[in-house]
Structure 1
């Protein structure tokens, strides 16, 4: 299995040689702007619960996942499709020219196997990611980090660690989607093939059209294993227990029993391609500072990031700085990102867990100083994690470091989010993609959108080609965070302000892949 090295030294900008030694597969890429970087879509074999599985990947020239760019460096990339099926990559959180946004047939066609395409634009700084804009391919892990560092990142005396979250099933994505849509999306069962099933878009139809090459390793024969029992947990703080400061899990809103939280039980939940059977151990300095860049690349799972008694500061969401917020547990839905700053108290080992909302499953990584013992961690927590941000308590506490200039008297455009589990159909303004009613905007003319969710599932709503500011929650106005993906819980409303950009047709959709697959997407059409 290829390594998924997601840590780079805090002194990397001052000692490039040392940084490259610590991160052989994530290039610093300090080179002439005329030399394009390379990315390739591919298939790769990972090990999950002791079984081999073939999944997709997006690899750089050194064979690592995704890209890290330096301050001021252009996104000058040649993308080559070596995945064996037609695909195209969306640069989530970036604001490229519309032609380079990466949605098949909107406006450019997907790349056929063996084809390449060049990209060149000024990237937005922050923690972002890249993924196929084809649901079955994203479910099969066609995704990778895209980190664009700021000048202050080079000056900061801290180590950077990427925490890339995914949900995994041994079943084909088509089988998974069929089971969910049939109303039987309960505990996942292992499929008979480890190969990821593929799809291709034709006129924005998300239907599948082909399959990937067969895996080179043995196919799995059963689901991911359950929790480990009897492991020695002494000397190790366990996330999920008591917290100090504000408690982001103290939800005063809707009862979990009234909501539909998880419509599919995956076989495993991964952090940097690994489970807690064999978590990634990040070596850190005694008493050092860590910037944890968390990316939720899961297709249908919301997570809490839990550090137990280790204090954290939330300093950015979706790549955009926020006024620091202290706590030990923060959540993020599909497509969202968190930047968490952690001051280590000395020597030791500290698990950072990703807790599946409304369930006991957990994954994670471990920060450990040299020589510190690392205890075995269970795959199941003692108690289920709470539902995420049902009353938007976390979102309401966020404040942008530098937001949009306020403009009064704008009437929000109401956008209704709806759907049901039976029949399994998810809509925007009571329409699916096939009969969509685009949202109109004018370039440079401030507008507001109010997402009103009348369904019993939460929806992470992502707008392409723009950043927006949260300016209202359930009718209460405030100057919130800048984002590109906002979570709207059941029976709630969130208002966002946007300065529409390039005159073009941009996608607006739910980032829950089964919801997207069943049509929860429309267009944000900007006119000149």
Structure 2
């Protein structure tokens, strides 16, 4: 039986309505309420029950303005332990939302309150940091609109990307963990283990890479059934009504568990304004790489002829794609296939090396340089982070230090590395120094060394990990610990 999207949304609303109401309290105090719920979405004509984070009004995630307070009550309407991490914000560490590090997870039927300045402004997002819940779509936008964006008057469109599988996350992980001989690691069938890509970057040495000739790297661990943009596939994409010839600010979030994307604007040239919510010197692009957990804000001008503009995201090394449509009034919307004619290229760091921070960190000497080796392999599916050559050791810092992280990827997979708390600035790739972007996630390709710096200004215990969900679950997780914090 085919279920209409309206029917599915009504079912989801009914699930949300069953939670205890705190709306009066939220209105009285100015606090926003977020509820973790089970919801039903439609994926290529079939209903799927997944997790979600919604306000009682049905609003997905949270949007604030720069200068406001992040004042949120998070209610767990699920039947499992859960919680949310406020990715890209820099709260007091006990409000960071990482279970058993910043605080306990939230029990079913319980809630937790959060209150701190909503900074830095920009395109952020929220997601579960408990188990494999992120693969069950427990993620949502978290936008702190910059005063400059508000003053611009531009229409804003949020596009949140996810990878979808009909297979339970626990079974995906179980299959990945099964020992595999090196020669057998390729397409193993089904929806689980992933595709050792034959697109090994053509054996070419690309800027910022130092790839060995002959390739041999793995692009994707998991073969997904669909890619989603705002919960929808290209069979029924979200269509945003815009003005003919107008400029639109795209806020694009890669909330996938295990997929890097290439953003495609077709023949339209856009202007990159921010990466990971932080301003960069504007850069013209027609396509842009977006690793897991990264974000990009791109301003596009709609075609002068009044035609619709698809904004697409193609999986790394794949033809499978998703996206949204910007439609001027009266414009026709053509059917876009889920499979593109050509596969997206592998993500490198050529664009990363072109980015320049519009607001770089102040110049000062480095007080502490910390080597971090990214280790592991596909055959045993064990991944790790060796800090000062030792697995399981935290990065220890003193408050007030300028800290450098030297991340050296010894593996044949790329790793999107994320540090909680303060953003860092990319300063060097394979020995080439530059004043790069300020980020909270940087992709470290195989056999590549990336240096970043940050100022240790928020004492606590902070997670530091690969944002590929299955790499993190298999051991690529560490912490940054401030000495002597209270």
TM-score (normalised: structure 1): 0.80
Tell me the number of residue pairs that the alignment of Structure 1 and Structure 2 aligns: 443
Structure 2 equivalent of residue 112 of structure 1? 107
Structure 1 equivalent of residue 471 of structure 2? 515
Structure 1 residue 478: deviation in Å? 1.1
Determine if the alignment matches structure 1 residue 371 to structure 2 residue 330. yes
Structure 1 residue 150: deviation in Å? 1.2
Structure 1 residue 88: deviation in Å? 1.3
Structure 1 residue 411: deviation in Å? 5.9
Q: Which moved more, 1:420-429 or 1:254-263?
A: 254-263
Structure-2 separation of matches of 1:287 and 1:303: 27
Q: Is residue 304–residue 332 contact of structure 1 (8 Å, CA) maintained in 2?
A: yes
Structure 1 residue 281: deviation in Å? 1.0
Determine if the alignment matches structure 1 residue 61 to structure 2 residue 56. yes
**Could you say if the C-alpha distance between residues 268 and 187 of structure 1 is closer, same or farther in structure 2, counting changes exceeding 3 Å?**
farther
Structure-2 separation of matches of 1:513 and 1:438: 20
Structure-2 separation of matches of 1:359 and 1:256: 19
Structure 2 equivalent of residue 436 of structure 1? 392
Secondary structure of the residue that 1:412 maps to in structure 2?
Answer: strand
Structure-2 separation of matches of 1:42 and 1:321: 34
- Stretches of structure 1 that go unaligned for 5 or more consecutive residues are 6-30, 192-248
Task: Kindly report which structure 2 residues correspond to 1:31-430, keeping only aligned pairs within 5 A, or say none.
Answer: 34-124=29-119, 125-182=121-178, 183=180, 186=187, 189=190, 253=209, 254=211, 257-346=215-304, 347-389=306-348, 392-408=349-365, 412-429=369-386
Structure-2 separation of matches of 1:432 and 1:77: 40
1:178-199 CA deviation, whole Å, 9 max, x = no partner? 11222478477479xxxxxxxx
Q: Is residue 355–residue 385 contact of structure 1 (8 Å, CA) maintained in 2?
A: yes
**Could you say if the C-alpha distance between residues 46 and 387 of structure 1 is closer, same or farther in structure 2, counting changes exceeding 3 Å?**
same
Structure 1 residue 106: deviation in Å? 1.1
**Could you say if the C-alpha distance between residues 503 and 4 of structure 1 is closer, same or farther in structure 2, counting changes exceeding 3 Å?**
farther
Structure 1 residue 287: deviation in Å? 1.1
1:390-425 CA deviation, whole Å, 9 max, x = no partner? xx1111111111111122465631100011001111
Structure-2 separation of matches of 1:386 and 1:522: 30
**Could you say if the C-alpha distance between residues 256 and 250 of structure 1 is closer, same or farther in structure 2, counting changes exceeding 3 Å?**
same
Structure-1 separation of matches of 2:243 and 2:188: 41
Structure-1 separation of matches of 2:389 and 2:130: 16
Structure-1 separation of matches of 2:235 and 2:249: 24
Secondary structure of the residue that 1:155 maps to in structure 2?
Answer: helix
- Stretches of structure 2 that go unaligned for 5 or more consecutive residues are 10-25, 193-203
Structure 2 equivalent of residue 497 of structure 1? 453
Structure 1 equivalent of residue 440 of structure 2? 484
Structure-1 separation of matches of 2:368 and 2:387: 21
**Could you say if the C-alpha distance between residues 3 and 514 of structure 1 is closer, same or farther in structure 2, counting changes exceeding 3 Å?**
farther
Structure 2 equivalent of residue 231 of structure 1? none
Structure-1 separation of matches of 2:402 and 2:206: 33
